[in-house]
Amino acid sequence: PGVARIPYSFGAIVLRGSDPRDNAVYIDGIEVPLAFHFGGLTSFYPSNLLSRMTVIGGGFDAMYGRAQGGIVELATRDPRTDAVRIGGSVGLLDSAVQAEFPLAGGGVIAAVRRSYFDLVARPFVSDDIPLPNYLDAQLRGAWGDPAGKGRIAPLLFLSLDRVAITDPNGGATPNTSSLSSFVVRAGVPYLRTWGPLALHAVAWLGADSIAFTSVTNNDEETFRRPTYPGGARGPLSRVFSWGEVRGGVDLEGGHLSHAEEGLGQPGDILEQENGTTSRWWIDSALWSDARVDVAGDRLSVKPG
């Protein structure tokens, strides 16, 4: 209830009527721009690789900044380490393959998924209807730290979406128009405990790009403007008999690249335009909050 997707299903979500730009999606503490692939057919991260999902429509904790609407928090699961497992799936919309295996005292899980919805649906719709396809891949590990008191879980994932329209009346070479979105993230989450104290830290880097391509009479026009974000979060918490106290640092920054435009034959090098509009940015914060249990698990107060 209170959750919807934006029109044309470009993957953004609406929580209780808020603007999608006012919501935030995190996976293992790493912020990502979208929760779904184009078309809203499936999430960008396979559900069988997740351990939990939390949706907060409003009133979220002080540790979450840069959002005014709601929060979607995803947590990945550790790979199983008792045996080597290889499997996959073939469905109407996509196919996937994954493997998980023990390695060096820990474990690794790797997966790839590719859709073919555009090929299945094309015979049943007119040529001017845009159809999506997507590709995603995930690599996740889990090991204990050398001191034996913490756990490190590096991960790498990417998502590529494309919506395309083909005009068969373009002559010998059909005219095409496409909009694509690319997201990649690499992060190193770390968990360590000292009795009642617990540190959940993560550092990450990534790249985002939305590109438009149009091919008319064998001339290709392209436009894209990539962004390279990164960040680090370090919540530290302590449990008491009456509740919990937490605090931490939240850093995020990145680079907004030049606009890259091209007009010519497919494969030509893109030219950079508007060089003065590229930007570096950094956004830093310190936060703290507490949870006071008033009536056990039924009622608590959380100043932050």
Is residue 139 within 8 Å of 110, Cβ to Cβ? yes
Q: What is the pLDDT of residues 17-59, one digit of tens each?
A: 888 888 999 999 999 988 888 766 788 899 999 999 999 988 8
Which residue matches tokens 């808020």?
Answer: 18
How many C-beta atoms surround the C-beta of residue 91 within 10 A? 12
Region of residue 9 (phi > 0: left; psi between -120 and 50: alpha; otherwise: beta): left
- CA geometry: angle at 167 spanning 164 and 170, to 5°? 135
Q: Which residues contact 240 (CB under 8 A, 6 or more apart)?
A: 196
> Where residue 247 falls among pLDDT bands split at 50, 70, 90?
very high
Share of the chain above pLDDT 90, in %: 50
Element containing residue 118 per DSSP (H, E): helix 117-121
Closest CA to 67 of 128, 22, 124, 8: 22
Residues 6+ apart with CB under 8 A from 17: 2
Banded pLDDT at 141 (limits 50, 70, 90): very high
Tokens 């001339």 belong to residue = 219
pLDDT at position 39: 66
250 or 4: which carries more pLDDT confidence? 250
pLDDT mean across residues, the chain: 86
Report the alpha-carbon distance of residue 75 to residue 70 in Å, rounded: 17
Q: Give the largest CA-CA distance in the chain.
A: 75
The more confident residue out of 57 and 138 is: 138
With bands split at pLDDT 50, 70 and 90, how would you rate the model's confidence at 272? Answer: low
268 pLDDT more than 70: no
| CB neighbour list of residue 140: distance below 8 Å, 6 or more residues apart | 49, 76, 79, 108, 109, 110, 153, 154, 155, 156, 157
Euclidean distance between CA atoms 304 and 289, whole angstroms: 4
